Amino acid sequence: MPLYHQLGEIPPKRHTIFRKPNGELYYEQLFGTIGFDGMSTNMYHEHRPTQVKKILGQYSVAPKIAKANNIQSYRLKGFQVKPEEDFLKSRKAVLTNSDCTIVLSAPLKSTNEYFYKNTDSDELIFIHRGTGTLRTMLGNLTFKYGDYLLIPRGVIYKIDFDTEDNRLFIVESRRPIYTPKRYRNWFGQLLEHSPFCERDIRRPSHLETYDEKGDFLIKVRKQDEIFDMVYATHPFDVVGYDGYNYPYAFSIHDFEPITGRVHQPPPVHQTFETDAFVICSFVPRLYDYHPDAIPAPYNHSNIDSDEVLYYVDGDFMSRNDIEAGHISLHPAGIPHGPHPGAAERSIGKKSTEELAVMVDTFKPLMLTEEAMEIADEQYYQSWLDPEI
């Protein structure tokens, strides 16, 4: 999100002397993306952020592929993923390609024993169930049902959950995640036709600063491996920063839908983008108001992209037998559309209360072993007329 943010204490100029009250220097760190060409933040630490005491070991978290070449439509029953105490162990990759991985997670506990850093991917965490606080080296964000948490790659964080009933839908992106460029002017400001604006973006507050030495375990993800690294100083020792590269929160409930006289295509729901996939929000909205409109989506072919829809809440007008937590996968190359009877049922309807998150990828998605454990193998036949 191209939005300048400052938190804590910083010097008047970059790369200049900035001293502690005792006269020692604070340690500056440039936290940037795309070499020195992307968004960046300048942080100031109590201690050098480079002090690694031990590397204890590593283990793979690469998705285990069950179907690498797939043309079958699937329904995955997401709430069948069993809760687990540990946050990282609870993350179950269900769909993946070289650009992104889609993960379901039901963690029972907060991340108390370690810090976590993903150097492979930006993480977009959608909160389906649960409340709590995302704690990071760049400040904290409280979260609740319906929030997207955007965590740029390299951010060190913990998550504190208020209860054990937590359900997360996570997109790990190997490309930076941005707000759609068509919503922004050449200065980066969100335009009047954008379905959200800067007021809806919640930036970090309450910067935790610890001046502590010891043994601090950080689990670092790199190339689908987790490395257990022990740092000599507390990772949350930043006294201040400014820049454009930081975590933020956006609620799906603050997305203002774009509607029309006839059915609008999925891009009107777009919320985030990369150069490899897009993420959309389907929210409660008025239906099309042409007198002869059919509010249900028309049949369409995904020639260039796989379509993933994560059903959150409400009435899913275009689908039969869909519940909260389900995921539908419609792969590129075959048409899909409303289930039998859905178009007819939609005629005359004035509004919908549906809530869903969609991910459209421009490379095919592979199904994992975890996905096949919760898959409905007959879903692809659900468009057949009853007499067939």
Structural domain of residue 108, as residue ranges? Answer: 5-66+82-251
CB atoms within 10 A of CB 22: 5
Residue 262 within any structural domain of the chain: yes
Is the pLDDT reported for residue 385 higher than 90? no
Is the pLDDT reported for residue 37 higher than 90? no
Pick from 234, 251, 268: which residue ends a domain?
Answer: 251
Instruction: Tell me what percent of the residues of the chain surpass a pLDDT of 70.
Output: 99
**Residue found by looking up tokens 């509607």 in the block:** 259
CB atoms within 10 A of CB 301: 12
Structure tokens at 193: 């036709």
Q: What is the pLDDT of residue 242?
A: 97
Residue 146 within any structural domain of the chain: yes
Q: Which parts are annotated binding residues?
A: 300, 306, 336
Residue 364 within any structural domain of the chain: yes
**Distance (Å, whole) CA 281 – CA 297:** 15
**Distance (Å, whole) CA 241 – CA 19:** 15
Is the pLDDT reported for residue 318 higher than 80? no
**Tens of pLDDT along 329-355?**
999 988 989 888 888 888 988 888 899
Quickly state the pLDDT bin for 364 (edges 50, 70, 90): very high
Distances (CA, A) of 331 to 173, 209, 382: 19, 47, 15
- Residues 202 and 336 placed together within one structural domain of the fold: no
Residue 76 within any structural domain of the chain: no
Q: Which parts are annotated binding residues for Fe cation?
A: 300, 306, 336
- Residues 293 and 217 placed together within one structural domain of the fold: no
Which positions are catalytic? 263
Quickly state the pLDDT bin for 34 (edges 50, 70, 90): confident
- Residues 269 and 333 placed together within one structural domain of the fold: yes
CATH of the domain at 20: 2.60.120.10
Residue 337 within any structural domain of the chain: yes
- Residues 312 and 168 placed together within one structural domain of the fold: no
Is the pLDDT reported for residue 76 higher than 90? yes
Quickly state the pLDDT bin for 302 (edges 50, 70, 90): confident
Q: Which parts are annotated binding residues for homogentisate?
A: 336
- Residues 93 and 137 placed together within one structural domain of the fold: yes
- Residues 193 and 263 placed together within one structural domain of the fold: no
Q: What is the pLDDT of residue 297?
A: 87
Q: What is the pLDDT of residue 194?
A: 95
- Residues 91 and 24 placed together within one structural domain of the fold: yes
Interior angle at CA 149, CA 241 and CA 360, nearest 5: 125
DSSP letter string, 159-188? EEESSS--EEEEEEESS--B--GGGB-TTS
- Residues 139 and 191 placed together within one structural domain of the fold: yes
Of 131-140, 169-178, 185-194, the least confident? 185-194
DSSP 8-class letter at 200: G
Pick from 197, 216, 251: which residue ends a domain?
Answer: 251
Residue 202 within any structural domain of the chain: yes
DSSP letter string, 55-102? EEEEEE----EEESS----EEEEGGGSPPBSSTTTT-EEEEE-SSEEE
Pick from 233, 251, 269: which residue ends a domain?
Answer: 251
Residue 128 within any structural domain of the chain: yes
Is the pLDDT reported for residue 387 higher than 90? no
- Number of structural domains the chain divides into: 2
Phi, psi of 266 (to 5 degrees): -55, -30
Quickly state the pLDDT bin for 368 (edges 50, 70, 90): very high
**Distance (Å, whole) CA 57 – CA 114:** 14
Burial class, 46, CB count within 10 angstroms (exposed 0-12 / middle 13-18 / buried 19+): buried
Q: What is the pLDDT of residue 1?
A: 59
- Residues 310 and 201 placed together within one structural domain of the fold: no
Residue 225 within any structural domain of the chain: yes
- Residues 221 and 276 placed together within one structural domain of the fold: no
